[in-house]
Amino acid sequence: MDAQAKAIPAPWSDGKDRLLWEFIPQKLALPLQGDGDIAQAVKDIEGLMAHP
């Protein structure tokens, strides 16, 4: 049986997956604790989402 032929492809590439689970929490950690600019962190994340 060819499991690869029946697999559903992930909508995220490896870069987007890493961005979601590693970079976004790092970017938001300090601003969410009150030590940083949350608006700037969101802008940084938007830039990373556009160009992972």
Amino acid at position 37, single letter = D
Interval 16-40: pLDDT, tens: 676 677 888 888 999 999 999 999 9
Residue 1's pLDDT is what? 47
Closest to 52 in 3D by CA, of 25, 30, 10, 23: 23
Can you tell me the distance from the alpha carbon of 45 to that of 5, in angstroms, rounded to the nearest whole number?
34
| 38: alpha, beta or left? (left if phi > 0; alpha if psi -120 to 50) | alpha
pLDDT at 42 over 80: yes
Where do the DSSP E strands lie in 7-49?
none
Residue 15's pLDDT is what? 66
Kindly report whether the global pTM for this prediction surpasses the value 0.95: no
Residue 8's pLDDT is what? 58
Position with higher pLDDT, 14 vs 45: 45
Residue whose structure tokens are 């909508």: 11
Can you tell me the distance from the alpha carbon of 32 to that of 17, in angstroms, rounded to the nearest whole number?
22
